[in-house]
Amino acid sequence: MSGANPVRGRLNAAVLRATDGYAHLVLGAAKRALLADLPDRVLEIGPGTGANMRYYRPGTRVVAVEPNQHMHAGLAAAARRRGIVLELRAESAESIGLPDGSVEAVVCTLVLCTVPDPAAVVREIARVLRPGGRLYFLEHVLAADHAGYRAVQRAAARPWRWFFEGCDVLRDTERVLARAGFADLVVDRYRARTLFVPINPQIAGVATR
């Protein structure tokens, strides 16, 4: 999760802004349920242009790790609209500049598909979480081998990765989380109903440090 490509980074920021309402329509219920009981301070990995700001209570302090500078203006605007106190950190998710055990809750939605080394990011999340702290995640994943989804994912993988700056529709993120050594892992597997078929197989849940 490094600095953005000068062309695709700007393009992806524009795409996220344009599809914000549609993403809320499709994923809003799942995100509201997942993020309903967050503490007053949250670390969010890869918040993009602020799609999750609407699900936080007004007054929540969000420490946002977002290396794509083209996302920053939209992210700051979304935080202002929702009454969120934003601390923006333009750094890599593989190397978060926070002390060990300093965070109670981490939010990571539709991000582990894109980072170069998801296992390293999850290890870093575990490092900054305090004992008993929680990672709240929602991610699209490699499909189970049924319903033709995996064939669609394989066909789309290369162009999808180029257009969306490394987003990998073949990534088995549940396995990455399962191997990360969390004390407890709760995973809900489901299929989203979106126009973006390669990312319809998804998981959501909570990993406890």
pLDDT tens, position by position, 2-51? 456 666 668 778 888 888 999 999 999 999 999 999 999 999 999 999 99
Instruction: Report which of 137, 69, 133, 145 is spatially closest to residue 103, judged by C-alpha positions.
Output: 133
Amino acid at 94: E
Output the average pLDDT for the chain: 93
Residue 3's pLDDT is 57
3-state secondary structure 97-128: CCCCCCEEEEEEECCCCCCCCHHHHHHHHHHH
Give the whole-number percent of the chain exceeding pLDDT 90: 85
The pLDDT value given to residue 1: 46
pLDDT digits 0-9 by tens, 168-209: 999 999 999 999 999 999 999 999 999 999 999 999 999 999
Q: Which of 83, 55, 89 is nearest to 69 (CA)?
A: 89
CATH 1.10.760.10 fits 8-208, yes or no: no
> In this predicted structure, what is the pLDDT of residue 9?
66
Q: What is the pLDDT of residue 2?
A: 45
Rounded distance, CA 149 to CA 147, Å? 6
Q: Report pLDDT digits (tens) over 72-130.
A: 999 999 999 999 999 999 999 999 999 999 999 999 999 999 999 999 999 999 999 99
Categorize the per-residue pLDDT at 163 as very low, low, confident or very high, splitting at 50, 70 and 90: confident
Q: Are strands 201-208 and 129-140 parallel, antiparallel or unpaired?
A: antiparallel
Q: How confident is the model at residue 146 (pLDDT cuts 50, 70, 90)?
A: low
For the record, the structure tokens of 7 come out as 């062309």
- Cα(171)–Cα(173) distance, integer angstroms: 6
Q: What is the model's pLDDT at position 93?
A: 96
Q: Which secondary-structure segment (H or E) carries 186?
A: strand 184-191
